Amino acid sequence: MDRLHELKSPKDIIKQMMLKDEFSKWLGIQVDAIDHGRCSLSCTLRKEMLNGFSIAHGGIAYSIADTTLAFAANSYGYQSFSIETSISHLQKVKEGDRLIAESEEIHRGKKTGVYHVNVKNQHDELVAIFKGTVYISKITW
Amino acid sequence: MDRLHELKSPKDIIKQMMLKDEFSKWLGIQVDAIDHGRCSLSCTLRKEMLNGFSIAHGGIAYSIADTTLAFAANSYGYQSFSIETSISHLQKVKEGDRLIAESEEIHRGKKTGVYHVNVKNQHDELVAIFKGTVYISKITW
Amino acid sequence: MDRLHELKSPKDIIKQMMLKDEFSKWLGIQVDAIDHGRCSLSCTLRKEMLNGFSIAHGGIAYSIADTTLAFAANSYGYQSFSIETSISHLQKVKEGDRLIAESEEIHRGKKTGVYHVNVKNQHDELVAIFKGTVYISKITW
Amino acid sequence: MDRLHELKSPKDIIKQMMLKDEFSKWLGIQVDAIDHGRCSLSCTLRKEMLNGFSIAHGGIAYSIADTTLAFAANSYGYQSFSIETSISHLQKVKEGDRLIAESEEIHRGKKTGVYHVNVKNQHDELVAIFKGTVYISKITW
């Protein structure tokens, strides 16, 4: 096999992505697991992540889920871009709560992929469900 | 009319929500317009809002759209909670770009409401479209 | 317990719903399982269900999934109405294929519920995933 | 220009698609307008399109919107396939009502496109809003 065409490992890709991902760093995201097509991340709710109801802003659960999607979808070595995402917020998240996001690969075609991401709190309660569709390019990491 | 049952004005409600909304403050959100059922917000992309591709993290456009939804839906005086949201990212957003989010009220029933939020950049180009469904409670602001 | 306030059983509710549900009858929907908060339905793809590519029209998988959602959400005895639904079509369905739709209750609150419906073919391959959010009224069946 | 590489007109493509589209024929769909990237269709609610509440089954508004999406997206001459769709049902549709579906092209990239479809009744009231994301192939009609 030609060394030039070898694909990077999931860990190396995510290390490279995380290095530049300033917002995920601000969120305090920790990579708990990463493999081909799957990823698990966590972070803790800080005061600056709250909304006008003094609970977690909907954008926080969305953001950790979106990073989880990005890492899972890019893990195979081909740059992938989110084209459509949706999230249902099911339960309030409070300051100090831990968010744990875990992906499930529903479908991986040649051009597009579909992933679910479950976001739970430290009590293993589901706080949000997220679905993301990605376009898979031919550009390698 | 009984003073106790008077509903607050859209501006007063949003002032009250914004006061506690630490995350929207972190995003640097500016309220450009607010009225019954409609809201327009803007913010500027800073370095700490970038993702692993060095463009705006998907969570940023989502978050400004979600705040726009919250303000538009709560503006009538009744506390409203997002139950389902989706976003399509259409164009890359770069450091220094200005995001302008504007809501459109599609439907306002007794119990639920549906809003579109268009997110554009400073060149009036659409960068994301967002749809949100809210549950309208009987709790007044 | 007052007989007048007894809630009907899932089977009785679905029998009553199915009786009037002319479109589900046209689809040839068969009720394979029904219980509180869950439902499984199936039907066979006929020629008049095809689209311009001579594969199943997207509306067919949507429709069986939507009926599955309706039956699962209404099974507790309170009339429930779909407020937002989404579907990802993952694989082509051909004439003669069997569609099997099965619900999973993700969340059941006081006012709203969220359900996933997986639609598979006779080879146990996932052909579509569906998410539905319902509003739960206080009107009993 | 090489005749072999000429792209068909929107009208010719839709005529060809409609010819095979048995389900759209069953729905009684009439093509009211078709052009590059836009389409308007209508149909009348018949008894066999009702659900267990004796109103239009959610699958009917979805199906006319999905056909509208397919026609609008395929109108440029390249075969396009729906990858993600969502619909919010806003108002009940009754037997005898006319459904009018009209597309709006939100985004047309090289590989993917995003369309809104508004579904109204004969009184010009919005009964459903639909969003669809398509993958644009290089296969010509």
b (16+ CB within 10 A) / e for B80-96? bbbbbbbbbbbbebeee
The pairing of beta strand A126-140 with beta strand A112-120: antiparallel
Distance from CA of C131 to the nearest CA of A (A): 9
Interchain pair D133, A86: CB under 8 A: no
What residues of A are in contact with residue B95 (Cβ under 8 Å)?
none
Tens-place pLDDT, residues A69-124: 999 999 999 999 999 999 999 999 999 999 999 999 999 999 999 999 999 999 99
Average pLDDT over residues D47-63: 96
Interchain pair D88, B114: CB under 8 A: yes
Nearest to B51 by CA among A17, D7, D47, A16: A17
| Band of residue A137 on the pLDDT scale cut at 50, 70, 90 | very high
Q: So what's the pLDDT on residue A6?
A: 82
Nearest to B85 by CA among B132, B37, B25: B132
Q: How many other β-carbons are positioned within 10 Å of the β-carbon of residue C104?
A: 12
What residues of A are in contact with residue C106 (Cβ under 8 Å)?
88, 90, 126, 129
Instruction: Give the nearest partner residue to B135 out of C86, C112, C114, using CB atoms.
Output: C112
**What's domain D6-140's architecture?**
Roll (3.10)
The one-letter code for the residue type at D16 is Q
Domain ranges of chain B: 7-140
Higher pLDDT, D45 or D52: D45
| Band of residue C40 on the pLDDT scale cut at 50, 70, 90 | very high
Distance from CA of B111 to the nearest CA of C (A): 9
Q: Could you give the maximum distance between any two Cα atoms of chain B, in Å?
A: 56
φ and ψ of B111, to 5 deg: -110, -30
The one-letter code for the residue type at C34 is I
What residues of A are in contact with residue C114 (Cβ under 8 Å)?
88, 90, 129
What residues of C are in contact with residue D51 (Cβ under 8 Å)?
17, 20-24, 67, 70
Q: So what's the pLDDT on residue A1?
A: 45
Task: For the domain made up of A8-140, give the CATH fold.
Answer: Thiol Ester Dehydrase; Chain A (3.10.129)
What residues of B are in contact with residue C83 (Cβ under 8 Å)?
83-84, 112, 133
Angle between helices D10-20 and D58-74 (to 10 degrees): 140
Convert B23-77 into a string of H (helix), E (strand) and C (coil): HHHHCCCEEEEEECCEEEEEEECCHHHECCCCCECHHHHHHHHHHHHHHHHHCCC
Mean confidence (pLDDT) of chain A: 95
Task: For the domain made up of B7-140, give the CATH fold.
Answer: Thiol Ester Dehydrase; Chain A (3.10.129)
| Band of residue C6 on the pLDDT scale cut at 50, 70, 90 | confident
Instruction: Enter the CATH code of domain C3-140.
Output: 3.10.129.10
Interchain pair D114, B106: CB under 8 A: no
Q: 3-state DSSP call for residue C69?
A: helix
Distance from CA of D136 to the nearest CA of B (A): 15
Interchain pair B52, A20: CB under 8 A: yes
Q: Which two tokens stand for residue D132?
A: 């669809």
Mean confidence (pLDDT) of chain C: 95
